[in-house]
Amino acid sequence: MSEKKQISGHIAIVGRPNVGKSTLLNHILGQKISITSRKPQTTRNNVLGIKTEGHAQMIFVDTPGIHKGQKKAINRYMNRTASSALKGVDVIVFVVDKECWTEEDEWVLQQVEREPCPIIIAVNKIDQLNDKRKILPHLAVLSEKLPRAEIVPLSALKTQNLDQLEKLIVQHLPEVAHFYSEDQVTDRSMRFIAAELVREKITRQLGDELPHQIAVEIEEFIEEGNLVRIGALILTEKEGQKRIIIGEKGEKIKNIGSQARLDMEAMFDCKVMLSLWVKVKSGWSDDERALRSLGYDER
């Protein structure tokens, strides 16, 4: 009996901010690739995650949340990045909440329904429903809004029904040789992941204390055998934000560094020496040139 021919394709994971796209990607891959927090718009770049099982290779693109309103350059960049990820993919996974439909969901729907490829609506967070019957009217509404889509209720966090989602995706992938090696899980560099992990810890620790106007730039990345030395610069827009990140007697930044280092060591499988410092750069989030210099390159 001959081996199955290889299939491979790109899958865009889209949805409004904070609906669980990055959590879904991380649990499909079985490891953290995309950073998560309860704060909306944590993801700023398209992050590629790769899962190869047997003859099938799924190449996932985790996108920033598509949102209405583009007040600053960083918001316009995130919307352009998310929308560009829809072009030319083989499957779109449109992530929505278990029971509510918002104006921003409607906005994403308008972007998604223009694309000719198969669409799967992933109804996330069903583990939080006490009465599963409550979801039925919501599924009926979703079916009316996008009649050609297939619908999968799931819980990204609890990994419920992820196998069903993956089976559906694989059915739509073209017969083509794999793009990446079997053991590769992302196309992103260690430098990029290091910067994202620092930003995740800041967002998680400070939550509503800090607005979105922070960025992380890796200024030093030196590999020495089983040791990596990383120097990361945290950019804020105001002096008050800098003080919040540093915290009383430096406690906040110490905790941020400690947690980020542990995640880096787990991901990179080596010892990490991490140094952090904070600098005020006024207006960076509304400056197109500053964004490009920080790596927001719409790849």
Domain boundary assignment for the chain: 7-171, 190-293
β-strand partners of 11: 60, 91
Task: Inform me whether the pLDDT recorded for 74 exceeds 80.
Answer: no
- Rounded to the nearest 10 degrees, what angle do helices 190-206 and 251-268 cross at? 140
Residue 298 pLDDT grade (very low, low, confident, very high; cuts 50, 70, 90): very low
Summary mean pLDDT of the chain:
83
C-alpha Rg value of the chain to the nearest Å: 20
Which residue matches tokens 């007697």? Answer: 249
pTM attached to this predicted model = 0.72
Query: Which residue type sits at 91?
Result: V
Most confident of the following: 31-35, 100-104, 206-210: 100-104
Region 190-293: CATH code: 3.30.300.20
Question: How would you list the strands of the sheet with 227-236, edge to edge?
Answer: 214-224, 227-236, 271-280
State the DSSP H helix or E strand holding residue 222, giving kind and residue range, or none if neither.
Answer: strand 214-224
pLDDT: which is higher, 150 or 37: 150
Region 7-171: CATH code: 3.40.50.300
Q: What is the pLDDT of residue 17?
A: 81
SS3 label, residue 277: strand
Q: What is the pLDDT of residue 39?
A: 44
Rounded to 5°, angle at Cα 87 from 196 and 61: 30
Please say whether the beta carbons of 45 and 296 come within 8 A: yes
204-263 pLDDT, tens digit each: 888 766 655 678 888 999 999 999 999 999 988 888 889 989 999 999 999 999 999 999
Q: What is the pLDDT of residue 284?
A: 56
Please say whether the beta carbons of 214 and 256 come within 8 A: no
Task: Inform me whether the pLDDT recorded for 76 exceeds 90.
Answer: no
Please say whether the beta carbons of 190 and 268 come within 8 A: yes
